[in-house]
Each structure stands twice: as structure tokens, then as C-alpha cells.
Structure 1
Amino acid sequence: MRPNGPASSPAVGDVTSTVLAIGRPDFPKVLIDTLRSQAGVGHCMVFALSRAGAASCLLDAGNIPIGGDLGAAYAGQFHQSDPNRDVLFEGEGSAPIMLPAFAPRMYGARYRKIFFGDSGIVDKCATAIWTGDTCFYVNFYRVKAQGRFGDAERQRLQAIAPAIGASVARHFQQTSTPDQTLAALFATRAPLATLTPREQEVCRRILAGFSSEAISQALGISLHSTLTYRKRAYQRLGISSQNELFSIVLGLLAGPCRLN
């Protein structure tokens, strides 16, 4: 029986590059490139909010020149007056939160001037996920040159938000999980850790988008052996498809950090 995770996952190829970049220095670049290609996001900012009241800006990437200043201002003062704050702090467990659609009237005059007037931001979407006492608040922006998000782009963001939020949370949990690579996930977290080393190697390459033939070449084994390892791994995990394997990974990324 599979561990609890997202009820459904986006197509494996949509966000796999971001998942595979967890723990790497190029994670911010991979993340914004994924968001741009999938949903036309211009800029992404990630904040960590604690139930004790502290806030910090963890990531600022994209096409807003004053993004760093905005991140510092939000973390230093404006997080207290964010109209989404109540929704964020009502969240429990590891279920992803999709924030209400952006509307300028939601914000106070000073907040609106600094974060939207001065910056050129014309639209935003956001998602959040709690891990322990920390909320990882992920914001997606569009600037004047891009115009507002279209309906299709909003739908794509909603589809990939659980995977993006889980990846962001795992990447920035540095103090409790020094090694956050996909290899570490397979090595330490059930049910992935129950697979044999060869089954893990095959599954990790499946997640990276390798074909069965490419896996065979990379590992120096026959195609028959690759298919056998895949079949055995899927049986151990209680799944039957690549998307279900991806859902297990996302469920583990979204859950609390611990070793099994």
C-alpha cells in the first residue's frame, strides 16, 4: 500500500528537473526555468514563516530588479499585514495550500505601492506548505511586460503547485537534512529505502526521464534485466506506473524530515 501523498500528480516530465535539483546550488535557476516554461511565471519568491512570528526570504529569482529589496521588506515588516496571513496560519499538516486569487484591493495602500506599484508586478499566485512549525510560502509573479496570468497558466500552476511546494520545502530544510538529494531520499526513506540498490538505480533514472533502453546502457545491463528490476521495484512499492512512483517521491518530500 502506498504512503499518503498527492491524490494525483502532474505529468512526470513537468517538474522532474526541479525535484532532481533539490539540495543543489542551481536549484533557484532550475525552479524559475521550470515555472517559466510551465506557466509563464516571471519571478518567484519564497518566504519561511514560523508560528512564533519570524519571517525570512529564502529565494528571489526572476525578472524583478528590486526583488531582493521586496523580500527584505516583506520579511522585516510587511508579512504581518499580508492579507493571506490568516489563510496561511490556518494550514495544518503537510497538505499544500493554494492561496486566493490576487486582487489589489486585498492590500493596504502602502503595501500596494511598495510591492505592486514600485515593482511593476501586475499579478501573483501563491502556494504554501507547512513542515513542522515552518510555513514555506511560494509566490509566483507576473510583471507589466507579461500581463496577468491567463486561465491556462493559472490551471498549470494549480496542477504543479503541490510538487513545487514540496520541492521548495525539502530544499530549504538544510539544518535538519544536510543531504537532500534524491539519492538520499532513496537511501533513507521508506518505502524507497526498501528497494535493492539496483532497483533504486533503475527507479531514480525512471524519475529523471530515462527510457528503459537508456537505463540499460547507463547501468551496463540488458533490457530484460532493466524491465525485471522495474517490475520488482513497482511490486515492492505497490504501484504500476511512472506517475505513481513520482507521487510517492512527492509525498515523501512534502512530509516531515526524518530517517527511517
Structure 2
Amino acid sequence: MRPRGTSATSAGGDVTPAVLAIGRPDFPNVLIDTLRRQAGVGHCMVFALTRAGAARCLLDAGNIPTGSDLGAAYAGQFHESDPNREALFEGQTGAPIVLPSFAPRMYGARYRKIFFNDSDIVDKCATAIWTGDTCFYVNFYRVTSQGRFGDAERARLQTIAPAIGASVARHFQQAATPDRNLAALFATRAPLSALTPREQEVCRHILLGLSSEAISQSLGISLHSTLTYRKRAYERLGISAQNELFGIVLGLLSRSLN
């Protein structure tokens, strides 16, 4: 978790929609929309790799029509010849892994033909995170009409990769609704558990994107009371903004995966 009082924007605050969609059926759509806005990603695929050698395609979303076929092919055979495989299996520490920049020469001729030439993919970035015996391998693609990732887009992907990887892993590990996930965090994990029940409720509603007025209506309390509970909660947490509250929650989600 980041030190209290620091900004969460660079640590993943701009991927809030994807984090709050964890456990929801629309998570894939929210994830690709977030990646498009943040770094111009055209397509995202997520694979689960195990130490025992198995592979599954968990998510396929974006602008590649043959994505599902590519996912099946990779999980069925080509994961064994992925040039990133060694880096993936060396990084079994629970910390986020950012894979090397894409270069066509990294891949064998058959792999390159199927996964890049025939599929119109011209660039790729990737990240991964291990949770227990499973590696969640998250791939970001661009097609010819988009061109390759620019330097700024690559830098942005590197910045948000830990948050994206942790969100993907959390989503596929549990099917609870976002509010139940948040309720469990606030009830059991410091520093959130130090808040009073009403302060926790207000903070959870803030994280779900509600305005102060909407929170007041939802909880049946005055706007003045809502603002007072928010102020007290922020003081207890040593923060001053919603981004910092998000940063605390994201840090707890990430750490609980390890």
C-alpha cells in the first residue's frame, strides 16, 4: 500500500471503473473501455497459466474478430512456445511482472503468422501477476489501423499495469459483487476497519461513484451529516481526497492477492 497522503492517480486512480467492476458480468467491457481511454489499447486477452503446465483463456475483448480462436489456439498449444514464458515463470513472487517490449523476431515463424500476421496485430504489451499456483497473464494489443503503441502509451501501460493485473486476478478469483468486496475490506482490513460503521458506509458509496447528495439519499441522512462522516473518515485515514481513498483500497486488494 502507498504511504498515506500521496496521490493515487499515478498508482491506478484512473482505472477506477475497472476496479469497481470486479465481480460484475460487464467486467470485460469495462476493462477494455478503460484500457482504450488510458492507453489506446485495441484488444485485451487474459490467460491463466499454472505451474503444472495448463493454460486457459479467461478473457477476450476488443477489436480482433478472431480473438476467441487465438485464445483457444494459445491455450491449447502455443503457450508452450511463447517467448515470454521464461520471464513469466521466473517471476513467481506475487509482484507485478511487466514483460519485454514486443519484437517480431522474438516469435517463431508459425507463431508469428497465426498470432500477428493473420490477425492483423502489429504491437503488443503485457503484464502478469502470480496468485498461488496461477499466473494471470494480461496481454494488450494494437492492430494495423491503430499503429504501434507510442512512447506515451507504453509508459501509461507500465504505470497502470499493476492495478490492471490485480483487478483481473481479483475478478477471476471471486464472483462477489463490488459492494460486497468493499464491505469485506472495510470490515476486516486496517486502516479501513478503524472507521465507524457509518464512516465505512459513506466511504464505500464514494468508491462506487456516488455524489454526496446521492449518498445522503441512499443512506437517509442529511447532506451535512454525509460531509461530516466523510471528513472524519478522511482524517482517520490521513488522506484528503477520493483518489487517496481509492489508493488505499487498491493497495489492500493487490496485497490480498499475494
The corresponding residue for 1:101 is: 101
The corresponding residue for 1:181 is: 178
CA distance in 2, matches of 1:181, 1:33: 18
The corresponding residue for 1:127 is: 127
Q: Flag structure 2 segments of 5+ consecutive residues without an equivalent.
A: none
The corresponding residue for 2:137 is: 137
Shift of 1:81: 1.2
How many residue pairs align between the two structures?
A: 253
The corresponding residue for 1:224 is: 224
Equivalent pair of 2:13/2:246 in contact (CA under 8 Å): no
Q: SS of the residue aligned with 2:123? A: strand
1:63 equivalent in alignment to 2:70: no
The corresponding residue for 1:10 is: 9
What amino acid sits opposite 1:74 in the alignment? Answer: Y
Q: Answer with 235-244 or 224-233: which moved more.
A: 235-244
CA-atom RMSD in angstroms: 2.4
Q: SS of the residue aligned with 2:204? A: helix
Q: Answer with 143-152 or 248-257: which moved more.
A: 248-257
Equivalent pair of 2:18/2:31 in contact (CA under 8 Å): yes
Q: Answer with 237-246 or 62-71: which moved more.
A: 237-246
1:245 equivalent in alignment to 2:242: no
CA distance in 2, matches of 1:85, 1:116: 18
Equivalent pair of 1:22/1:182 in contact (CA under 8 Å): no
1:43 equivalent in alignment to 2:40: no
1:90 equivalent in alignment to 2:90: yes
Equivalent pair of 1:132/1:256 in contact (CA under 8 Å): no
CA distance in 1, matches of 2:182, 2:93: 20
Shift of 1:20: 1.2
> Where in structure 1 do 4 or more consecutive aligned residues deviate above 4 Å?
2-5
What TM-score do the two structures reach when normalised by structure 2? 0.88
Name the CA shift for 1:154/1:3 in 2 (closer, same or farther; >3 Å). closer
Name the CA shift for 1:156/1:257 in 2 (closer, same or farther; >3 Å). closer
Shift of 1:215: 3.1
Shift of 1:251: 1.9
Shift of 1:50: 1.0
Q: Answer with 165-174 or 228-237: which moved more.
A: 228-237
Q: Flag structure 1 segments of 5+ consecutive residues without an equivalent.
A: none
Equivalent pair of 1:131/1:256 in contact (CA under 8 Å): no
CA distance in 2, matches of 1:9, 1:95: 19
Matches within 5 A, 1:158-237: 158-174=158-174, 178-179=175-176, 181-188=178-185, 189-191=188-190, 192-237=192-237
Equivalent pair of 1:171/1:180 in contact (CA under 8 Å): no
Q: SS of the residue aligned with 1:255? A: helix
CA distance in 2, matches of 1:233, 1:8: 17
Equivalent pair of 1:32/1:43 in contact (CA under 8 Å): yes
Equivalent pair of 1:127/1:165 in contact (CA under 8 Å): yes
CA distance in 1, matches of 2:198, 2:2: 22
What TM-score do the two structures reach when normalised by structure 1? 0.87
What amino acid sits opposite 1:190 in the alignment? Answer: R
Shift of 1:231: 2.9
Shift of 1:255: 2.8
Percent identity for Structure 1 against Structure 2: 77
CA distance in 2, matches of 1:203, 1:84: 40
